[in-house]
Amino acid sequence: MQFNKVEICGVNTSKLKVLKESEKMELMKRSKQGDKRAREELISGNLRLVLSVVQRFTNRGENLDDLFQVGCIGLIKSIDNFDVTQNVKFSTYAVPMIIGEIRRYLRDNNSVRVSRSIRDTAYHAMQAKEKLVNSLQRDPTIEEIAHELDLPKEDVVLSLEAIVEPVSLYEPVYSDGGDTIYVMDQVGDNSKDDDWIDEILLRQSIKDLGPREKKILSMRFMQGKTQMEVAKEINISQAQVSRLEKSALKQIKSH
């Protein structure tokens, strides 16, 4: 799918039918009674819901046709497992199911290969965590999850870390009036041993900057502090630190 098109998997999304909640419930009841046509209508009438979920994953470099098909699997599972006796909107139930199916697909097809046994341990750990949250009414510790699974806590930590999706350093985490803060802005630099040449060049370049800009650049690139640490020390917001840092770097580049 491209942004200037409305077609995905050969489906013209602009012509997809949107069902009312009352229509969904009626079709759901008929589907539960074995009416295959009602089930097909329910699937086609909720494809826009799948599309809305898929759009959350547009910046991951994945083939959106594939994600749409995987999302449809999640939709079908939610239709087959939905309990019509519960006072819950279908979309409220279906969206987490569709998201979960897509995330499983992304984990299983991650370029960093994770063994099946580690993935299985991670899924069991997540299930155990959800169970403990319900019983304890708080987030459980790793030790509690490990005890629930009767596994060493190291195995639980390793499995959960292994399925975490990589995050781009250029992924935005906050925006304040156009001053976007990226992941890389929140990362410090502790590799000082071999950076003495860069430090000399930087010192020569910042001599014409104001005292606050000099301090920010010194803390960021000589002391290896994050923008959040700098903001806390000089008592301004991280967005302001980001703005001043970018302005100072732009001034240095112009020289």
Q: How far apart are CA 219 and CA 63, in angstroms?
A: 41
Regarding pTM above 0.95, the answer is no
Q: How far apart are CA 102 and CA 160, in angstroms?
A: 18
Query: How much of the chain exceeds pLDDT 90, in percent?
Result: 2
Measured CA to CA in angstroms, residue 141 lies from 59, 123, 135, 159, 207 at distances of 32, 16, 13, 15, 50
User: How many residues comprise the chain?
Assistant: 255
What structural domains and CATH numbers belong to the chain? Answer: 7-108 (1.20.120.1810), 116-162 (1.10.10.10), 172-254 (1.10.10.10)
For the chain, residues with pLDDT lower than 70 are 1-16, 59-61, 109-115, 162-206, 255
**pLDDT of 95:** 87
Q: How far apart are CA 1 and CA 185, in angstroms?
A: 31
Q: Among residues 203, 216, 224, 113, which one has the least CA distance to residue 166?
A: 113
Give the rounded distance of the alpha carbon of 158 from its chain centre.
Answer: 20
**pLDDT of 203:** 65
Cβ neighbours, 10 Å, residue 54: 24
Contact residues for 225 (Cβ-Cβ < 8 A; gap 6+): 188, 219, 233
